[in-house]
Structure 1
């Protein structure tokens, strides 16, 4: 949950009121992945599935991984196209891997 809250805070700080420009998120897990907020959410749901040990929770965690993972991939691709100086070592969702 901490990853998710911190990542959302970083995203909210990117723009000042009234701005409509895009900026590269930096800090926290955004140092390693483009979708740090999505990663935090996925970890939360996997943790809930493990804690509750139920099939519906596992199914929800799996579908969260599928949908949010795809969103992270698309955000990563957008950042690479939008910013020439976007860090090439940053991955889409899983640090150092994907």
Structure 2
């Protein structure tokens, strides 16, 4: 296994990975904060609103996927890629099931909201 050289930090994939990781982390933290606020109100299940909840049911999962995609880019390794794939294999099916659950529980659940990827899926 070759060591990473110091100039690796200036490679396009590392820089893009750092930016993508920061975006994913902000999305993840903002989404979790919105969910925690809903729980603290003790009103039972509610429809989350705000942030990327405007577009998707599980922005916290989306943020997590962005973070692991960023890790894969930064490391440019099979290990990084496998972490990204493993995360997607776990979170995408959970988001699909949860998205279906929201639609069953709430008649007024936003129909245009996607499960996990904005505007796409």
| Unpaired segments ≥5 residues, structure 2 | 1-24
* Equivalent residue for 1:75, pick from 83, 86, 98: 98
After the TM superposition, list the runs of 4 or more consecutive aligned residues in structure 1 that deviate by more than 6 angstroms.
none
Provide the residue aligned with 2:26 in structure 1. Answer: 2
Q: Is 1:38 the counterpart of 2:67 in the alignment?
A: no
SS at match of 1:5: helix
| Unpaired segments ≥5 residues, structure 1 | none
**Number of paired residues?**
97
Higher mean C-alpha deviation, range 66-75 or range 31-40: 66-75
Provide the residue aligned with 1:25 in structure 2. Answer: 48
TM-score by length of 2: 0.77
SS at match of 1:84: coil
* Equivalent residue for 1:54, pick from 74, 77, 81: 77
SS at match of 2:40: coil
Structure showing greater radius of gyration is 2
TM-score by length of 1: 0.94
Give per-residue Cα distances to partners, 1:29-62, cap 9 Å, x unaligned: 0000001000000000000110011101100101
State how far apart, in whole Å, the 2-side matches of 1:55 and 1:66 are: 16
